[in-house]
Amino acid sequence: MEKQNYNHLTRTFRRLSRFGHLSAIAGWDMSTYMPPNGSTARAEALAELSVLQHQILTDKKTVTFLQAAAQEDLNDVERANLREMTRQYQEAVVLPDSLVEEKSLVGSRCEHGWRTQRPANDWQGFATNLKEVVRVSREEARLRADAKGKSPYDALLDLYEPGMTSEKLDVVFGDLRSWLPDLLQKVVDKQSSRPAVDPVGPFATGTQRELGLDTMRMLGFDFNGGRLDVSAHPFCGGVPEDVRITTRYDESDLITSLFGVIHETGHASYEQNLPREWLGQPVALARSTAIHESQSLFFEMQLGRSKAFLNLLLPKIIARFGNQPAFETQNFIAVNQRVERGFIRVDADEVSYPAHVILRYEIERALIDGDIEVDDIPALWDEKMQHWLGLSTKDNYRNGCMQDIHWTDGAFGYFPSYTLGAMYAAQLFNAASRALPQLESDIAEGSFTALFDWLRQNIWQHGSRFTTSQLMTNATGEDLNPLYFRKHLESRYL
């Protein structure tokens, strides 16, 4: 039997992928090189592109092709692709073109304003734009909730982590709550008896960039299919054939930028190793945001902060910046495994990091479900920071509720991915260590071939062929098990 309907769909989705390519590169440019006066025109161009993609995807004939293709003789990969096509269609068809356009416009305006409002600690200016984003996001959540029979927040969460619900999250995060504060206190107490000496700058930006590029090469980044640039908030963008990662530099702080690069290289490695033969189809996309975060945290935390990798990195740092007391081996490891309560999520260690995520999850869920308003955020943020980390953010908006970029474009439901990703990363590293007995000595020697082959075989090459649960079970022998994350933290820090 011919796959006429399925083949028609693959042509449609290939076309959508090409428009997505243009949108991704234009968005990357907007965050890196675009002069400020180009903001409004670029926002309008991207909104126009998003409406065009939405119209193609939600064409009245699409549902007929999807239904007919389901009756055709498809292999396993094609069935998975059809499942992902159907999912994309169902997510899109509930939204009118006007809302898609408005979301893009208010998001661009809020993000562009944030760039100057955050340094100025201008909560009032930011809140004005954020209220528009929340208004549109609530409308989107209502439409999705009605279609899916879920709560408004769960309908958005499902976009990023298919199948995840706040009920499941409350169980996973509830478990974290039961032991994380105690672990955090024990580690802080233990480390306070041997405080680490910080590296003393200045560390020239150009030299930091060279170190970052060298580390990316060591970690297998393909520079024929990607590049490193600077942005206000580090990210990984572009497309699998042309991956764009960014970092930000501070000449008084060498570590933050370097590990930002390692983190984004984890994202990039996933993108660069997605199944080439399926590119342009939904089945070739990364499985979910939590699986994506598992790859960046696998690189940054499981691998990057390990003693073996830090020993590998140290001579490269000394060669570029000269030696100093902070670069004594044990001290350098202590600096990079330091646990402390801080304001900034992207700079947080892996023990305190989940607190930042749970705080945002609780606020964004209440915001989308209509239990709180934008004006309530600063006080709630301060209250939760004091509860989790003993820090006050009263009137300190730049280091509190204005520090992140995710809410500016309406990415509500994204934040839980970070801690789910940390849990997946610990579980994957445990499985890789069991499969590769020589892993620690390989890392110490700078040999990552076996490790990356394992990731390629178990995660990267599958794209969205399997559900998250199937992918993890195939790779590790079980679905998400937060116990591996706890064991990892206790083993490394206690």
Joined tokens for residue 293: 């975060």
The closest alpha carbon to 305, from 343, 258, 344, 346, belongs to 258
Q: Which of 78, 111, 132, 264 is catalytic?
A: 264
At 247, which helix (H) or strand (E)? strand 242-247
Instruction: Name the nearest CA neighbour of 301 among 399, 428, 176.
Output: 428
Distance of alpha carbon 40 from alpha carbon 120, whole angstroms: 21
Which tokens in the block code for residue 8?
């028609």
Phi, psi of 254 (to 5 degrees): -80, -35
Assess whether 241 carries a catalytic annotation.
Answer: no
Residue 40 tokens, joined? 């409004």
The secondary element (H helix, E strand) that includes residue 242 is strand 242-247
Helical packing angle, 4-32 and 76-93, nearest 10°? 60
**For residues 417 and 289, is the Cβ–Cβ distance under 8 A?**
yes
Q: Which H/E stretch holds residue 143? A: helix 123-148
Residues 6+ apart with CB under 8 A from 172: 419, 420, 423, 480, 482
Spacing of C-alpha 342 from chain mean position: 20
Which residues touch 490 (CB under 8 Å, ≥6 apart)? 183
For residues 51 and 99, what is the distance between their CA atoms, to the nearest angstrom? 9
* 4-32 vs 39-57: helix crossing angle, rounded to 10: 170
Write down the residue that tokens 């105690």 correspond to. Answer: 182
Residues 388 and 355: beta-carbon distance below 8 Å: yes
Q: Is residue 265 a contact partner of residue 298, using CB atoms and an 8 Å limit? A: no
Burial 60-71 (b: 16+ CB within 10 A, else e): eebeebbeebee
CA pair distance 76, 73, nearest whole angstrom: 10
What are 247's strand-pairing partners? 230
Torsion of CA 177, 182, 183, 186, to 10 degrees: 170
**CA-angle at 347, arms to 138 and 256, nearest 5°:** 130
| Segment (H or E) for 255 | helix 254-272
**How many Å apart are CA 188 and CA 182, to the nearest integer?**
10
- Nearest CA-CA partner of 361 in 164, 170, 222: 170
Provide the annotated active-site residues. Answer: 264
